[in-house]
């Protein structure tokens, strides 16, 4: 839940002690309201709004290759980077339903890190099964 400065309360309080914590005050102030108890900054809760909201389209592959070319369009290198999600802003319930039907989801995509260059060097190999015929 977010908070913002309650401007009307801040005008009535006159002095703020910035070393004190913020204090939540009622949305509608009583007539005899002078200030917060400790002199902290008066704040109010920001109401939660469902729309507009962002929906996400997750990639099907965790990594993608970027090909780097020089001025003669010769391939000089490739780079493997994590893929990112696509976003879309919906403004009402109907747009949200349509976006969800297209495959968008409400949760963002958390990409997996690119594999380390040394990952295969130190990977453990599965143990070989022992047979009764081994000789020393």
Q: What is the 3-state secondary structure (H, E, C) of the chain?
A: CCEEECHHHHHHHCCCCCCCCCEECCCCCCCCCCCCCCCCCEEEECCCCCCCEEEEECCCCCEEEEEEECCCCCEEEEEEEECCCEEEEECCHHHHHHHHHHCCECCCCCCCCCCCCCCCCCCCCCCCCCCCCCCC
Give the predicted TM-score (pTM) of the model.
0.52
Give the pLDDT of residue 129.
67
Do 94 and 62 share a domain, yes or no? yes
Whether 91 is covered by a domain: the verdict is yes
Do 57 and 27 share a domain, yes or no? no
Count of the separate structural domains present in the chain: 2
Do 19 and 57 share a domain, yes or no? no
pLDDT by residue for the chain (136 residues), tens only, comes to 688 888 888 888 878 887 888 888 888 888 888 888 888 888 888 888 888 999 999 999 888 999 999 999 999 999 988 888 999 999 999 999 999 999 999 999 887 776 677 777 776 777 776 666 655 5
Range of the domain at 85: 53-102
Whether 67 is covered by a domain: the verdict is yes
Whether 26 is covered by a domain: the verdict is yes
Do 38 and 65 share a domain, yes or no? no
Give the pLDDT of residue 54.
94
């Amino acid at each position: 839940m977010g908070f913002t400065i309650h401007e009307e309360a801040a005008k009535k309080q006159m002095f703020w002690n910035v070393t004190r914590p913020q204090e939540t005050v009622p949305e509608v102030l009583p007539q005899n309201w002078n200030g917060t108890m400790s002199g902290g900054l008066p704040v109010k809760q920001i109401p939660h709004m469902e729309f507009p909201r962002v929906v996400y389209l997750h990639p099907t592959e965790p990594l993608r290759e970027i090909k780097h070319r020089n001025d003669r369009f010769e391939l000089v290198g490739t780079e493997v980077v994590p893929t990112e999600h696509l976003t879309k802003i919906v403004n009402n319930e109907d747009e949200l339903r349509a976006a969800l039907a297209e495959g968008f989801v409400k949760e963002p995509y958390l990409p997996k890190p690119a594999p380390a260059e040394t990952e295969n060097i130190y990977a453990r190999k599965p143990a070989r099964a022992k047979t009764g015929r081994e000789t020393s």
